[in-house]
Amino acid sequence: MTENNEGRPGEEAAPTAKQFPDDFTSCLEAAFAYAARGWPVHPLQGKRALIQGWPRKASTDPQVIEGWWDQWPDANVGMVTGMKSGFVALDVDQPNLPEGLPATRLSRTGSGGFHMLYLHPGDSPLRNASGVWPGVDKLKADNGYIVAPPSVHPVTGRAYEWVGDDDLTELPAEIAEACRPQEYGDVSEPISSLTTSPYGRKALDAECEAVRVTEKGGRNDRLFRAAAAIGSLMAGGGDCYVHRGHHVSVASF
């Protein structure tokens, strides 16, 4: 049985705060340090990204970073998650750490929860997802970001801070597997079991072919646009059907 800092039995001792990788006096200083570690950063207003296209534009270039903070000197610092940075984050909205997860680098959020940083598997993108582990609000992975220390929470006014001494460890395999993007089914199968109008069938075949040839990383967006196009056709009275063997599955990033 363990005791917490106040000596009450039955509770884990709360981790103590420690800045990482250094003691930061400003978000700009922290941004430089994260960038030097290879973690792309971008400026935030509270929790909101200040630059459009941040998944692509987040940077480790000191000159780019300095230019952002010249423009927004009071900005918080965001760190991109996913393959671009090499880590993912489990977002915990409660004051206690979830049970059963391996120790790793921790950040205490300004709302009193935690970000648990784990190494990205690196072999394929992982989707942002909820419900990946009991006590975890969401996984922030590819096309995600976290608010990083020493940013200040826009509501509570409390600073984010690094906690403990652990470095990043491997993401549990069951979480990684659950968050891999689902592959689409065979969209090359001819549509033959239902009668369609020539125009409707041609339109559907064209959209399916466009999805089929789209490279990984762009399929979700292309599938959404295909569905919107076919939906518009049907809403306008178009005659367009898909038989049950011709289906695609999509996992939103």
In a domain, 220, yes or no: yes
Q: How many domains does the chain have?
A: 2
For the cut 70, the answer to whether the pLDDT of residue 241 exceeds it is no
In a domain, 8, yes or no: no
For the cut 90, the answer to whether the pLDDT of residue 231 exceeds it is no
Give dist(CA 243, CA 241) in Å, integer.
7
- If asked whether residues 81 and 114 sit together in one domain, one would say yes
For the cut 90, the answer to whether the pLDDT of residue 223 exceeds it is no
- If asked whether residues 168 and 187 sit together in one domain, one would say no
Specify which residues 152 forms β-bridges with. 159
Percent of the chain with pLDDT strictly greater than 70: 72
pLDDT band per the 50, 70, 90 thresholds, residue 249: very low
If DSSP codes are grouped into helix, strand and coil, which group holds residue 180? coil
In a domain, 1, yes or no: no
* CB 25 within 8 Å of CB 19: no
- If asked whether residues 79 and 113 sit together in one domain, one would say yes
In a domain, 38, yes or no: yes
Q: pLDDT tens across 8-47, in order?
A: 344 444 444 444 555 788 999 999 999 999 999 999 999 9
pLDDT in the model for residue 24: 87
pLDDT in the model for residue 160: 95
In the chain, alpha helices (H): 27-36, 54-57, 62-71, 173-178, 198-213, 219-235
Domain holding 92, by residue range, is: 27-178
Q: Mean pLDDT score of the chain, rounded to an integer? A: 80
Question: Final residue of a domain: which of 121, 151, 178?
Answer: 178
- pTM of this prediction? 0.67
- If asked whether residues 211 and 228 sit together in one domain, one would say yes
Specify which residues 115 forms β-bridges with. 91, 107
**With left for phi above 0 and alpha for psi between -120 and 50, is residue 184 left, alpha or beta?**
beta
- If asked whether residues 38 and 80 sit together in one domain, one would say yes
- If asked whether residues 135 and 237 sit together in one domain, one would say no
Q: Over the Cα atoms of the chain, what is R_g?
A: 23
Q: pLDDT tens across 86-144, in order?
A: 999 999 999 999 999 999 999 999 999 999 999 999 989 999 999 899 999 999 999 99
In a domain, 10, yes or no: no
Greatest CA separation for the chain:
77
- If asked whether residues 227 and 134 sit together in one domain, one would say no
Question: Final residue of a domain: which of 178, 207, 234?
Answer: 178
- If asked whether residues 85 and 167 sit together in one domain, one would say yes
Question: Final residue of a domain: which of 121, 144, 178?
Answer: 178
Percent of the chain with pLDDT strictly greater than 90: 58
pLDDT in the model for residue 111: 95
- If asked whether residues 52 and 104 sit together in one domain, one would say yes
pLDDT in the model for residue 250: 34
Give dist(CA 83, CA 143) in Å, integer.
9
pLDDT in the model for residue 222: 74
pLDDT band per the 50, 70, 90 thresholds, residue 252: very low
pLDDT in the model for residue 163: 92
- If asked whether residues 163 and 226 sit together in one domain, one would say no
Specify which residues 92 forms β-bridges with. 114
In a domain, 16, yes or no: no
| Packing angle, helices 62-71 and 27-36, rounded to 10 | 160
- If asked whether residues 44 and 57 sit together in one domain, one would say yes
In a domain, 137, yes or no: yes
**91: domain CATH number?**
3.30.2250
pLDDT in the model for residue 153: 97
- If asked whether residues 63 and 174 sit together in one domain, one would say yes
